[in-house]
Amino acid sequence: MPPNTTATTGDTATTGAAPAKSGRKKGRKARLMVLVLVLAIIGGIAYGAYWSISTVRASFPQTKGSITLDGLSGPVDVKRDGNGIPQIYASSDEDLFMAQGYVQAQDRFYEMDVRRHMTSGRLSEMFGKSQVKNDEFLRTLGWDRIARQEYDTKLSASAKKYLQAYAKGVNAYLQGKDGKDISLEYAALGFTNDYKPQEWTPVDSVSWLKAMAWDLRGNMQDEIDRALMTSRLGPQQIADLYPEYPYSRNKPIVQEGQYSALSKSFQQSGGTGTSQGTGTSQGTGTTGTTGGTRGASGGTAATTGSSASSSTGSSLTSQLAGLYKVLDDVPTAVGVNGQGIGSNSWVVSGKYTVSKKPLLANDPHLSASLPSVWYQMGLHCRSVSSKCQYDVTGYTFAGMPGVIIGHNQNIAWGMTNSGVDVTDLYLEKVSANGYLYDGEVRPFKTHEETIKVAGGSSKTIVVRQTQDGMPLLSDRDDELVQVGKRATVNSAAPDRGDGYGIALRWTALDPGTSMDAVFALDRAADWNDFRQAAALFDVPSQNLIYADTDNNIGYTLPGRIPTRSSVDDGSVPALGWSSKYRWTGFIKQNELPYEYDPKRGYIVTANQAVVGKDKYPYTLTTDWGFGTRSQRITDLIESKIKDGGKISTDDMRQMQLDNSSEIAKLLVPKLLKINLDDKNVRDAQKLLEGWDYTQESDSAAAAYFNAVWRNILKLAFGNKLPKELRVKGQCLWVDKVDSTGPVDDDSKVRECGDRDADQAQPDGGDRWFEVVRTLMEKPDSDWWKTPKSGTRPAANNLDQLLARAMIDARWELTAKLGKDIDTWSWGRLHRLFLKNQTLGTDGPKALQYILNRGPWRLSGGEATVNATGWNAAGGYTIVWVPSMRMVVNLADFDKSRWINLTGASGHAFSAHYTDQTSLWVKGELLPWSFSDTAVDKSTSDTLVLKP
Q: Are 589 and 535 in contact (CB under 8 A)?
A: yes
**pLDDT tens-digit profile of 316-360?**
566 666 676 666 667 665 555 445 567 999 999 999 999 999 999
595 φ, ψ (degrees, to nearest 5)? -155, 140
Residue 644, phi-psi category: left (phi > 0), alpha (psi -120 to 50), beta (remainder): left
Q: Between 849 and 395, where is the model more confident?
A: 395
pLDDT reported for residue 700: 98
Average pLDDT in the 44-69 region?
Answer: 72
How do residues 204-255 score in pLDDT, each as one tens digit? 999 988 888 887 776 778 888 888 888 899 999 999 999 999 999 999 999 9
Among 41-45, 292-296, 513-517, top mean pLDDT goes to 513-517
CA distance 814 to 30: 36
What is the enclosing helix (H) or strand (E) of 547? strand 542-548
Angle between helices 93-119 and 157-174 (to 10 degrees): 80
Of 414, 541, 517, 518, nearest to 882 by C-alpha is 414
> Mean pLDDT, the chain, as a whole number?
85
pLDDT band at 144 (very low <50, low <70, confident <90, very high): very high
Beta carbons of 359 and 353 less than 8 angstroms apart: yes
**CA-CA distance, 264 to 532, in Å (whole number)?**
15
Q: What are the pLDDT digits (tens) for 511-566?
A: 999 999 999 999 999 999 999 999 999 999 999 999 999 999 999 999 999 999 88
Three-state DSSP at 48 gives: helix
CA-closest candidate to residue 88, choices 379, 374, 376? 379
d(CA 130, CA 116): 18
Check pLDDT > 50 for residue 648: yes
Dihedral pair phi/psi, residue 859, rounded to 5°: -85, -175
> Which is more confidently placed, 302 or 926?
926
Q: Which of 546, 557, 644, 643 is nearest to 602 (CA)?
A: 546
Q: What is the pLDDT of residues 593-603, one digit of tens each?
A: 999 999 999 99
Does position 695 have pLDDT exceeding 80, yes or no? Answer: yes
Contact (CB, 8 A) for 702 and 694: yes
Q: Quick check: 14 pLDDT over 70? A: no
User: Could you give the CA distance from residue 264 to residue 251 in angstroms, rounded to a whole number?
Assistant: 25
Checking if the pLDDT of 300 tops 50, the result is: no
Region 830-857: mean pLDDT is 89
- Residue 846 is predicted with a pLDDT of 83
Higher pLDDT, 439 or 46: 439
- Supply the pTM of this predicted model: 0.89
State what percent of residues in the chain have pLDDT above 70: 82
Q: How far apart are CA 804 and CA 792, in angstroms?
A: 7
Alpha helices in 255-363 (DSSP H): 266-269, 313-329
Specify the amino acid at residue 439.
Answer: G
At residue 6, the pLDDT reads 55
CB atoms within 10 A of CB 528: 9
